[in-house]
Amino acid sequence: MEENEAPVTLIKGGRVVDPAASFDATADLLIVDGVIREVGRVDPPAGCRVIDADGLTVAPGLVDMHVHFREPGFEYKETIAGGSQAAAAGGVTSVAAMPNTAPANDDPSVTGYMLQKARAAGLVNLYPIGAITKGLKGKELAEMGLQQQAGCVAFSDDGYVVMDSGVMRRAMEYSRAFGALIIQHAEDSGLSCGGCMNEGVHSSRLGLPGIPVESEEVIVDRDIRLAELTGGRYHVAHISAAGAVAAVAAARKKGLQVSCEAAPHHFTLTDEAVVGYDANYKMSPPLRSGIDRNAILEGLARGDITAIATDHAPHERDSKQVEFCRAANGVVGLETLLPLSLDLVREGVLGLMETLACLTCNPAQLLGIDGGTLGVGARADVVVFDPDEAWVVDPRRLHGTARNTCFAGIKVRGRVKKSLLAGRIVHSDGR
């Protein structure tokens, strides 16, 4: 691992794009002791390792504010080490990990355990998200203050919704003291009850019980009112419904501290994909209609959706190889995040700078974490990628242990060549 220990690295001649500084130019990046020392024209110092980035794009390591690493409790689905490998392969250097582990991350001891496992793997900066309520049960608030001291950067019951309006109100009020983001999995459990895909023409045709868009929209509407009442910082996880995008846009226009993230599967696919009953297209919220997909694209283009996050949700084979309605929700996404996001650039939805902002500095800012920038003095978390290289998503070649992608066999464009974490190469495309 001698190469990994080189203290001085020069990434030479790439197109350096740093949205945090609105910087986009051909430049060299000098890394000393894991920190960015210089950006510009740099002659390689003696003994320095040089990474030739000619024809490649150099950007801040991606920040994915929504992943599920299944440890503790579900190591048979994925471990923190395995999830870290997938992150490194996807150019993701920072992840925020949801608390639906077993036990749930509602306690500093669990937070500490996750941090320690991530440090041992050494492939990604892991930022735990603490539970809003004890045991994710939606009844009693978790000890947010202690959780934050232990390292939690935001709070969510993701996987579950905080249904009780009073509990949600108190969570927003309480979180104000810490300036922490409250992230809601917006789903009215009464409305989505028993559903396993989007409610619409396709669910009727397939004979599968549907989840209406209203399931998401009524919770987002309610929560925005609570954000206005409390002054809390409110964030909608994996937004999927046109009406919810519109509600967030209106709230932002009013000046409320409301934000949301979109997942690549929601802006790439629609519920038509479920036609073969393949459980790899089953996720929560479900793939929606073309109207909803367009609303997400427009929300990104207008800047109402400021973050792209994977909702990376690894599962073991057995929980997906059952009939559609009984299958587990969720898909992996870390390794397809960048190429699918680059489709936004190719389709003219966003510029490269704006797209990378949704993947780097914007989520970093929402979480209040370091990272997402190539500024001098910043930790050298860097991704070097070929924006045009085409490859076919082969589940067998994904990193980590889970294989449940909804993009199997799809040709994508954009390939990670190198991922650097604090100046160390943690992934190199050598296949």
Count of chain residues binding Zn ion (CB under 5 A): 2
Report CA-CA distances (Å) from 153 to 142, 143, 330, 359, 380: 14, 13, 23, 17, 21
Token code pair at residue 405 = 């992608």
Compare residues 237 and 274 and give the one whose CB is closer to Zn ion.
237
Stretch that binds Zn ion, among 136-144, 148-156, 158-166, 386-394 (CB under 5 A): 158-166
Distances (CA, A) of 164 to 167, 229, 363: 5, 16, 27
Q: Residues 77-116 vs Zn ion: string with x where CB under 5 A? A: ----------------------------------------
Residue 304: active-site member: no
Question: For 132, phi and psi rounded to 5 degrees?
Answer: -75, -45
Question: In terms of Cα–Cα distance, which of 219, 160, 167 is closest to 188?
Answer: 219
Q: Which is nearer to Zn ion, 97 or 357 (CB)?
A: 97
Q: How far is CA 377 from CA 36, 127, 362, in A?
A: 5, 21, 19
Q: Does the footprint of Zn ion cover residue 216 (CB under 5 A)?
A: no
CB of 95 to Zn ion, least distance (A): 12
Give the Cα separation of 327 and 153 in Å (integer). Answer: 31
- Of the candidates 406, 380, 400, the one whose C-alpha atom is nearest the C-alpha of residue 77 is 400
Nearer to Zn ion, 14 or 330 (CB): 330
Stretch that binds Zn ion, among 113-121, 126-134, 150-158, 384-392 (CB under 5 A): 150-158
Where does this chain touch Zn ion (CB under 5 A) — which range of 157-165, 188-196, 300-308, 340-348? Answer: 157-165
Among 18, 28, 64, 158, binds Zn ion (CB under 5 A): 158
- Integer distance in angstroms from the first to the last C-alpha of the chain? 18
CB of 313 to Zn ion, least distance (A): 6
Sign of dihedral through CA atoms 363, 180, 296, 302? negative
Q: Are 388 and 413 in contact (CB under 8 A)?
A: yes
Encoded one letter per residue, x for contact with Zn ion by CB under 5 A and - for no contact, window 302-341 reads ---------x------------------------------
**Residue with Cβ nearer Zn ion (39 or 183):** 183
Q: Which of 18, 28, 311, 381 is catalytic?
A: 311
Task: Give me the active site residues, please.
Answer: 311
Binding site for Zn ion (CB under 5 A): 158, 311
